[in-house]
Amino acid sequence: MNAIRARLAHMGIFVRDRETMVKFYTEVLGLMVTDQGPGRAPGMHLTFMSGDPGEHHQVVLVTGRPEDSGFNPINQVSFLVESLAQLREVHKRALTRGATDMRLVNHGNAWSIYFRDPEGNTLEAYLHTPFHVPQPHGEPLDLAKSDEEILGLTEAACAKDPGFMPRAAFVQSVAARMAN
């Protein structure tokens, strides 16, 4: 039997105000509309968005979220960025475009910012660190510090954990386990 190794490819989100949400995801995360059109249900509209030219869509905004929907079943939608500079820029853009509940966390294996979009969906923008430390692990992240300071503080905090190792060693160990 061949093993299946599924990977997260995209996320669909029901929205109330499509234009506001398209603007937010475009201006904060740099996604672009790749396609759009009517859905199967009357009045439903789908907007496909991506930040990767190789992926038709990473996020689909679907109209029809009721005003009184109450509990939001989406825990979070996470976006990987390439550098601390990009993480700082997402932080700045999110704050200037109405994001709420901003939280900056150093997970040891990732530097993350969590925030809510204009309709209350929790988003994470994050960057891998060169380290692994068993999770959950969380300390405050100060993006005002230099890249070198953040890296040094992260390594020093993680090195205290007996499960600490370089990220490359952790990736190699997981790959070996998956091969079995």
Confidence of residue 6 (pLDDT cuts 50, 70, 90): low
Edge-first strand order for the sheet with 59-63 is 11-15, 59-63, 45-50, 32-38
CATH classification number, 1-68, choose in 3.50.50.60, 3.10.180.10, 3.30.420.40, 3.30.365.10: 3.10.180.10
Inter-CA distances, 128 with 153, 159, 166, Å: 15, 16, 12
Rg (CA), the chain: 18
Task: Using DSSP bridges, classify how beta strands 122-128 and 77-80 pair: parallel, antiparallel or unpaired.
Answer: parallel
Integer Cα distance of 133 and 167 in angstroms: 9
- Whole-structure pTM value: 0.80
* pLDDT digits 0-9 by tens, 120-133: 888 999 999 999 99
CATH code that applies to domain 71-180:
3.10.180
Integer Cα distance of 66 and 68 in angstroms: 5
Give the DSSP per-residue string, 58-74: SEEEEE---TT--S---
Which tokens belong to 107?
């997970």
φ, ψ of residue 151 in degrees (nearest 5): -60, -45
13's enclosing H/E stretch is strand 11-15
Q: What percentage of residues in the chain have a pLDDT greater than 90?
A: 58
* HSE, side-chain direction, 13 A CA sphere, residue 144: 1
* pLDDT digits 0-9 by tens, 51-101: 888 788 899 998 988 777 776 667 688 899 999 999 999 999 999 999 999
Q: Where does CATH 3.10.180.10 sit in the chain?
A: 1-68
